[in-house]
Amino acid sequence: MQERPLILVTNDDGITAPGIRMLVEVMKELGDVAVVAPNSPQSGMGHAITIGKPLRLVDSDIFDDVTAFECSGTPADCVKLAKHYALKDRQPDLVVSGINHGSNSSISVLYSGTMSAAIEAAIENIPAIGFSLCDYSHNADFSHIREYVKSIASKVLDEGLPKFLTLNVNFPKKQEEEIKGVRICRQARAKWEEEFEQRFDPMGQPYYWMAGNFVNFDKGEDNDEWAIANNYVSVVPIQFDLTAHHAMSVLGEWEF
Protein backbone atom coordinates (compact mmCIF):
# COMPACT_ATOMS: atom_id res chain seq x y z
CA MET A 1 0.00 0.00 0.00
CA GLN A 2 1.18 3.53 -0.79
CA GLU A 3 2.14 5.55 2.27
CA ARG A 4 -0.20 8.42 3.01
CA PRO A 5 1.42 11.88 2.99
CA LEU A 6 2.49 13.30 6.34
CA ILE A 7 0.94 16.69 7.07
CA LEU A 8 2.22 18.92 9.87
CA VAL A 9 -0.40 21.28 11.31
CA THR A 10 0.46 24.36 13.35
CA ASN A 11 -0.94 27.85 14.03
CA ASP A 12 -0.44 31.04 16.02
CA ASP A 13 -3.76 31.19 17.90
CA GLY A 14 -2.74 28.31 20.14
CA ILE A 15 -3.44 24.59 20.13
CA THR A 16 -6.94 25.01 21.64
CA ALA A 17 -8.21 27.46 18.98
CA PRO A 18 -11.26 26.35 16.94
CA GLY A 19 -9.46 27.16 13.69
CA ILE A 20 -6.74 24.56 14.16
CA ARG A 21 -9.31 21.92 15.09
CA MET A 22 -11.08 22.48 11.77
CA LEU A 23 -7.74 22.29 9.93
CA VAL A 24 -6.80 19.02 11.63
CA GLU A 25 -10.18 17.49 10.73
CA VAL A 26 -9.78 18.39 7.07
CA MET A 27 -6.13 17.30 6.83
CA LYS A 28 -7.01 13.87 8.28
CA GLU A 29 -8.98 13.28 5.08
CA LEU A 30 -5.80 13.83 3.03
CA GLY A 31 -3.03 12.14 4.99
CA ASP A 32 -1.42 11.28 8.31
CA VAL A 33 -1.51 14.30 10.58
CA ALA A 34 0.86 15.53 13.28
CA VAL A 35 0.37 18.73 15.26
CA VAL A 36 3.01 20.94 16.85
CA ALA A 37 1.36 24.18 17.97
CA PRO A 38 1.90 26.90 20.59
CA ASN A 39 0.50 26.30 24.06
CA SER A 40 -0.78 29.90 24.15
CA PRO A 41 -1.78 32.59 21.60
CA GLN A 42 1.15 33.91 19.56
CA SER A 43 -0.61 36.32 17.18
CA GLY A 44 1.57 39.12 15.81
CA MET A 45 4.81 37.34 16.68
CA GLY A 46 6.02 37.41 13.09
CA HIS A 47 9.06 35.22 12.51
CA ALA A 48 10.33 35.46 16.09
CA ILE A 49 12.30 32.49 17.42
CA THR A 50 13.26 31.58 20.96
CA ILE A 51 17.00 31.85 21.62
CA GLY A 52 17.31 33.17 25.18
CA LYS A 53 15.34 30.62 27.16
CA PRO A 54 14.47 26.90 27.02
CA LEU A 55 11.76 25.55 24.76
CA ARG A 56 9.31 23.02 26.12
CA LEU A 57 7.47 20.40 24.07
CA VAL A 58 4.70 18.45 25.80
CA ASP A 59 2.54 15.60 24.48
CA SER A 60 -1.10 16.57 23.96
CA ASP A 61 -4.21 14.41 23.64
CA ILE A 62 -6.43 17.27 22.50
CA PHE A 63 -7.04 15.69 19.06
CA ASP A 64 -8.41 12.20 18.49
CA ASP A 65 -6.02 9.75 16.81
CA VAL A 66 -3.44 12.47 16.07
CA THR A 67 0.10 12.80 17.38
CA ALA A 68 0.20 16.27 18.92
CA PHE A 69 2.56 18.43 20.94
CA GLU A 70 2.14 21.74 22.75
CA CYS A 71 5.14 24.04 22.35
CA SER A 72 6.10 26.89 24.66
CA GLY A 73 7.61 28.85 21.76
CA THR A 74 6.53 30.76 18.68
CA PRO A 75 4.97 29.38 15.49
CA ALA A 76 8.39 29.37 13.79
CA ASP A 77 9.77 27.46 16.80
CA CYS A 78 7.01 24.88 16.34
CA VAL A 79 8.07 24.12 12.77
CA LYS A 80 11.74 23.95 13.74
CA LEU A 81 11.05 21.57 16.63
CA ALA A 82 8.77 19.45 14.47
CA LYS A 83 11.45 19.02 11.81
CA HIS A 84 14.42 18.47 14.12
CA TYR A 85 12.82 16.58 17.00
CA ALA A 86 9.14 15.61 16.97
CA LEU A 87 9.13 14.38 13.36
CA LYS A 88 12.86 13.87 12.86
CA ASP A 89 12.41 10.37 11.42
CA ARG A 90 10.11 11.53 8.62
CA GLN A 91 9.95 14.91 6.91
CA PRO A 92 6.44 16.33 6.34
CA ASP A 93 5.11 16.32 2.81
CA LEU A 94 3.09 19.44 3.60
CA VAL A 95 2.93 22.03 6.39
CA VAL A 96 -0.35 23.88 6.95
CA SER A 97 -0.76 26.74 9.39
CA GLY A 98 -4.03 28.14 10.74
CA ILE A 99 -6.86 28.43 10.27
CA ASN A 100 -6.13 31.89 11.65
CA HIS A 101 -8.89 33.86 13.34
CA GLY A 102 -8.48 37.09 11.37
CA SER A 103 -7.04 38.34 8.10
CA ASN A 104 -3.39 37.95 7.13
CA SER A 105 -3.67 39.74 3.81
CA SER A 106 -1.45 42.51 2.47
CA ILE A 107 1.20 43.86 4.90
CA SER A 108 -0.10 41.66 7.72
CA VAL A 109 1.92 38.79 6.24
CA LEU A 110 5.01 40.38 7.83
CA TYR A 111 3.50 40.42 11.32
CA SER A 112 1.68 37.12 11.13
CA GLY A 113 2.75 34.15 13.22
CA THR A 114 0.50 31.98 11.04
CA MET A 115 2.37 32.92 7.89
CA SER A 116 5.78 32.82 9.57
CA ALA A 117 5.23 29.14 10.40
CA ALA A 118 4.47 28.50 6.72
CA ILE A 119 7.48 30.56 5.62
CA GLU A 120 9.71 28.62 8.04
CA ALA A 121 8.62 25.44 6.26
CA ALA A 122 9.39 27.05 2.89
CA ILE A 123 12.90 27.87 4.12
CA GLU A 124 13.32 24.10 4.56
CA ASN A 125 11.85 23.60 1.07
CA ILE A 126 8.72 21.91 2.44
CA PRO A 127 5.49 22.86 0.63
CA ALA A 128 3.42 25.00 2.96
CA ILE A 129 0.17 26.94 3.16
CA GLY A 130 -1.05 29.55 5.63
CA PHE A 131 -4.85 29.67 5.96
CA SER A 132 -6.69 32.66 7.45
CA LEU A 133 -10.36 33.59 7.83
CA CYS A 134 -11.27 37.28 7.91
CA ASP A 135 -13.25 36.88 11.12
CA TYR A 136 -11.54 37.69 14.42
CA SER A 137 -14.21 36.09 16.60
CA HIS A 138 -13.17 33.12 18.74
CA ASN A 139 -16.44 31.52 17.65
CA ALA A 140 -15.93 32.27 13.95
CA ASP A 141 -17.89 30.14 11.47
CA PHE A 142 -15.49 28.09 9.31
CA SER A 143 -18.14 25.92 7.64
CA HIS A 144 -18.16 27.78 4.31
CA ILE A 145 -14.43 27.32 3.71
CA ARG A 146 -13.94 23.65 4.53
CA GLU A 147 -14.04 22.38 0.94
CA TYR A 148 -11.74 25.18 -0.23
CA VAL A 149 -9.18 24.28 2.44
CA LYS A 150 -9.31 20.66 1.36
CA SER A 151 -9.13 21.48 -2.35
CA ILE A 152 -6.16 23.85 -2.04
CA ALA A 153 -4.20 21.51 0.23
CA SER A 154 -4.95 18.55 -2.03
CA LYS A 155 -3.74 20.48 -5.07
CA VAL A 156 -0.45 21.36 -3.37
CA LEU A 157 0.05 17.72 -2.34
CA ASP A 158 -0.56 16.60 -5.92
CA GLU A 159 1.33 19.32 -7.80
CA GLY A 160 3.87 20.59 -5.27
CA LEU A 161 5.05 24.20 -5.16
CA PRO A 162 8.04 25.97 -6.70
CA LYS A 163 11.08 25.77 -4.42
CA PHE A 164 11.08 27.95 -1.32
CA LEU A 165 7.55 29.31 -1.85
CA THR A 166 4.47 29.17 0.33
CA LEU A 167 0.85 30.20 -0.22
CA ASN A 168 -0.95 32.87 1.77
CA VAL A 169 -4.64 31.97 1.60
CA ASN A 170 -7.29 34.32 3.00
CA PHE A 171 -11.01 33.57 3.14
CA PRO A 172 -13.80 36.15 3.39
CA LYS A 173 -16.04 36.06 6.43
CA LYS A 174 -19.19 33.99 5.99
CA GLN A 175 -21.95 35.88 4.19
CA GLU A 176 -25.39 35.08 2.82
CA GLU A 177 -23.85 34.92 -0.65
CA GLU A 178 -21.62 31.90 -1.32
CA ILE A 179 -17.92 32.44 -2.02
CA LYS A 180 -17.50 33.29 -5.71
CA GLY A 181 -14.31 31.29 -6.24
CA VAL A 182 -10.52 31.51 -5.92
CA ARG A 183 -8.31 34.33 -7.18
CA ILE A 184 -4.51 34.11 -7.56
CA CYS A 185 -3.44 37.55 -6.36
CA ARG A 186 -0.60 39.85 -5.54
CA GLN A 187 -0.19 41.43 -2.12
CA ALA A 188 -2.10 44.71 -1.87
CA ARG A 189 -0.32 47.98 -1.14
CA ALA A 190 -1.87 48.68 2.22
CA LYS A 191 -0.71 49.29 5.79
CA TRP A 192 -1.76 49.87 9.34
CA GLU A 193 -1.74 53.52 10.45
CA GLU A 194 -1.10 53.18 14.15
CA GLU A 195 -2.08 55.36 17.06
CA PHE A 196 -0.62 54.99 20.54
CA GLU A 197 -2.75 55.94 23.51
CA GLN A 198 -0.77 56.90 26.60
CA ARG A 199 -2.15 55.56 29.87
CA PHE A 200 -0.86 55.43 33.43
CA ASP A 201 -0.54 52.51 35.81
CA PRO A 202 -1.49 52.71 39.53
CA MET A 203 2.04 53.91 40.32
CA GLY A 204 1.67 56.81 37.90
CA GLN A 205 4.08 55.37 35.35
CA PRO A 206 3.11 55.75 31.68
CA TYR A 207 2.43 52.86 29.32
CA TYR A 208 1.15 52.77 25.76
CA TRP A 209 -1.67 50.91 24.04
CA MET A 210 -1.46 50.49 20.29
CA ALA A 211 -4.54 50.98 18.11
CA GLY A 212 -5.09 52.22 14.59
CA ASN A 213 -6.80 51.65 11.28
CA PHE A 214 -6.00 49.53 8.24
CA VAL A 215 -5.71 51.68 5.11
CA ASN A 216 -5.74 50.22 1.59
CA PHE A 217 -3.97 52.46 -0.92
CA ASP A 218 -4.31 49.93 -3.74
CA LYS A 219 -6.95 50.59 -6.41
CA GLY A 220 -6.21 47.47 -8.44
CA GLU A 221 -8.48 44.46 -8.86
CA ASP A 222 -5.68 41.89 -8.91
CA ASN A 223 -4.73 42.03 -5.21
CA ASP A 224 -5.76 40.13 -2.11
CA GLU A 225 -7.69 42.98 -0.48
CA TRP A 226 -9.91 43.39 -3.55
CA ALA A 227 -10.51 39.64 -3.78
CA ILE A 228 -11.57 39.31 -0.15
CA ALA A 229 -13.77 42.42 -0.29
CA ASN A 230 -15.52 40.94 -3.32
CA ASN A 231 -16.12 37.55 -1.64
CA TYR A 232 -13.32 35.60 -3.33
CA VAL A 233 -10.67 33.41 -1.73
CA SER A 234 -7.31 35.13 -2.22
CA VAL A 235 -4.19 33.04 -2.85
CA VAL A 236 -0.87 34.89 -2.84
CA PRO A 237 2.44 33.09 -3.51
CA ILE A 238 4.96 34.24 -0.89
CA GLN A 239 8.76 34.07 -0.82
CA PHE A 240 11.18 34.80 1.99
CA ASP A 241 13.77 36.46 -0.29
CA LEU A 242 13.13 40.16 0.41
CA THR A 243 15.81 41.39 -1.98
CA ALA A 244 14.60 44.32 -4.11
CA HIS A 245 16.20 42.94 -7.27
CA HIS A 246 14.99 45.87 -9.41
CA ALA A 247 17.00 48.29 -7.24
CA MET A 248 20.34 46.49 -7.49
CA SER A 249 21.31 48.12 -10.80
CA VAL A 250 20.53 51.58 -9.41
CA LEU A 251 22.54 51.04 -6.25
CA GLY A 252 25.32 49.52 -8.31
CA GLU A 253 25.97 52.96 -9.82
CA TRP A 254 26.60 54.54 -6.44
CA GLU A 255 30.16 55.35 -5.42
CA PHE A 256 31.09 54.52 -1.84
Give pLDDT tens digits for 37-72. Answer: 999 999 999 999 999 999 999 999 999 899 999 999
Asked if residue 105 is part of any domain, the answer here is yes
Q: What residue numbers bound the domain in which 143 lies?
A: 6-188+219-251
pTM for this model (two decimals): 0.94
Asked if residue 256 is part of any domain, the answer here is no
N- to C-terminal Cα separation, the chain: 63
Q: What pLDDT score was predicted for residue 176?
A: 93
pLDDT at 244 over 80: yes
Please name the amino acid found at residue 236: V
Mean pLDDT of the chain: 95
Binding residue positions for a divalent metal cation: 12-13, 43, 100
Task: Report the DSSP pairing between strands 94-101 and 6-10.
Answer: parallel
Measured CA distances, 188 to 145, 174, 184, 211 (Å):
22, 22, 12, 21
3-class state of residue 211 by DSSP: strand
Is the distance from CB of 13 to CB of 101 less than 8 angstroms?
yes
Asked if residue 175 is part of any domain, the answer here is yes
Total number of domains in the chain = 1
Q: What pLDDT score was predicted for residue 1?
A: 53
CB-CB neighbours of 87 under 10 Å: 18
- pLDDT (mean) for 65-89: 95
Asked if residue 113 is part of any domain, the answer here is yes
The percent of residues above 90 in pLDDT, for the chain, comes to 94
Cα 144–149–154 angle (5° rounding)? 145
Asked if residue 211 is part of any domain, the answer here is no
Asked if residue 201 is part of any domain, the answer here is no
CB-CB neighbours of 53 under 10 Å: 8
* CA pair distance 22, 218, nearest whole angstrom: 32
| Chain centre distance of CA 94 | 13
**Is 199 exposed, middle or buried, given 0-12, 13-18 or 19+ CB atoms closer than 10 A?**
exposed
Q: What pLDDT score was predicted for residue 3?
A: 85
Q: CATH number, domain at 50?
A: 3.40.1210.10
Please name the amino acid found at residue 7: I
Asked if residue 200 is part of any domain, the answer here is no
The percent of residues above 70 in pLDDT, for the chain, comes to 99
- The pairs formed by 251-255 with CB atoms below 8 angstroms and a separation of 24 or more are none
Q: What is the pLDDT of residues 105-159, one digit of tens each?
A: 999 999 999 999 999 999 999 999 999 999 999 899 999 999 999 999 999 999 9
Q: What is the pLDDT of residues 172-185, one digit of tens each?
A: 999 999 999 999 99
SS3 content of the chain, % helix, strand, coil (to 5): 25, 30, 45
* CA pair distance 39, 16, nearest whole angstrom: 8
Asked if residue 43 is part of any domain, the answer here is yes
Q: What pLDDT score was predicted for residue 2?
A: 63
